[in-house]
Amino acid sequence: MSRLCLGILLVLAAGGMTSCYYRPYPAAVQPVSAVNGNSSLPLTQLYFYPNKGQTVEQQSRDHYECYNWAVKMTGFDPGQSAIPMNQRVSVVPMPPPGWDTITMSITGAVLGALIGGPYHAGEGALIGAAGGAVVGAVSDVARQESARQMEEAYNAQHRTQDAQLAGQASRFRRAMSACMEGRGYTVR
């Protein structure tokens, strides 16, 4: 009777320890544009040339004033918006597929052997290993699904941000073009 109570306590303790330790491993994601070298940043550069013989100094002053006016009108400053400084990607190592299955099988085998005692340790180890493998496999599947969902959410968020940034850049280009054309420049 006392060995049965000890076995139940060991199983409960082991189950409690493994369930308290569960920690989801988020997928490490990073912006695709930064990895591939392709910039998804919107184009805000304008090419202009003077139509009324403006000097280099006048061109510089007009560009500066139109830039500031376009920022004021659109609320978008390409010099400040190109790379968000506060955006960071957290990289967390993710264990390989099957990690939980293996570790829980080993844990189950050890606990099963302890519970089985000296005469039934082999049988207890087999039963414990099988039970641990099932629990570990479920944990592996849950982690992989969680990582997939996190990556999809990250990608969707950045697609939305990229679309918003492209819209702001387009409005800025239109404002900048209108100002420069109003001052006697051809803008392309």
The domain limits of the chain are: 2-17+46-80+96-187
The tens digit of pLDDT for each residue in 31-56 reads: 434 333 444 556 678 888 899 989 99
The tens digit of pLDDT for each residue in 95-110 reads: 888 889 999 999 999 9
Contacts (Cβ under 8 Å, ≥6 apart) of 14: 107, 111
Q: Is the pLDDT of residue 22 over 50?
A: no
Of residues 10 and 137, more confidence is placed in: 137
The tens digit of pLDDT for each residue in 122-174 reads: 999 999 999 999 999 998 898 888 888 888 888 888 888 888 888 888 999 99
Q: Is the pLDDT of residue 26 over 80?
A: no
**Are residues 74 and 175 in contact, defined by beta-carbon separation less than 8 angstroms?**
yes
Residue 134 CA to residue 102 CA, distance in Å, equals 10
